[in-house]
């Protein structure tokens, strides 16, 4: 199965997002190239607003991730509650 990935700048804003992704995607793996956090997952990956909000204890607009997003692979779908990445193969 193909991996999807999502990469963020490694900073304080990204930390709860990374934590949420790792909590919601059991097979996701994080690596730390200099300055970055890269999360790979087989087939698909989801970023859930609710999980992030629980971690930070305040409302979070998912589009906020654009500020620290570096790159992605896979097909994207985004709404108010989640952003998902997946390959159709």
In the complex, minimum distance from the CB of residue 44 to other proteins, in angstroms, rounded to a whole number? 12
Q: Which residues of 21-41 are buried (b: 16+ CB within 10 A; e: fewer)?
A: beebbeebeeeeeeeebbbbb
Contacts (Cβ under 8 Å, ≥6 apart) of 69: 6, 7, 8
- Min CB(54)–other proteins separation in Å: 20
Nearest to 6 by CA among 71, 52, 62, 66: 71
Closest approach of other proteins to the CB of residue 2, in Å: 3
Binding site for other proteins (CB under 8 A): 2-5, 7, 9, 33-36, 63-64, 66-80, 87-89
């Amino acid at each position: 199965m193909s991996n999807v990935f999502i990469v963020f700048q490694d900073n304080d804003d990204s930390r709860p997002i990374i934590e949420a992704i790792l909590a919601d995607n059991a097979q996701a793996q994080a690596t730390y190239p200099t300055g970055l956090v890269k999360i790979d997952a087989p087939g698909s990956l989801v970023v859930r607003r609710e999980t992030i909000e629980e971690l930070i204890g305040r409302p979070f607009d998912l589009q906020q991730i654009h500020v620290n997003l570096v790159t992605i692979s896979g097909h994207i779908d985004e709404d108010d509650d989640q952003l998902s990445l997946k390959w159709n193969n």
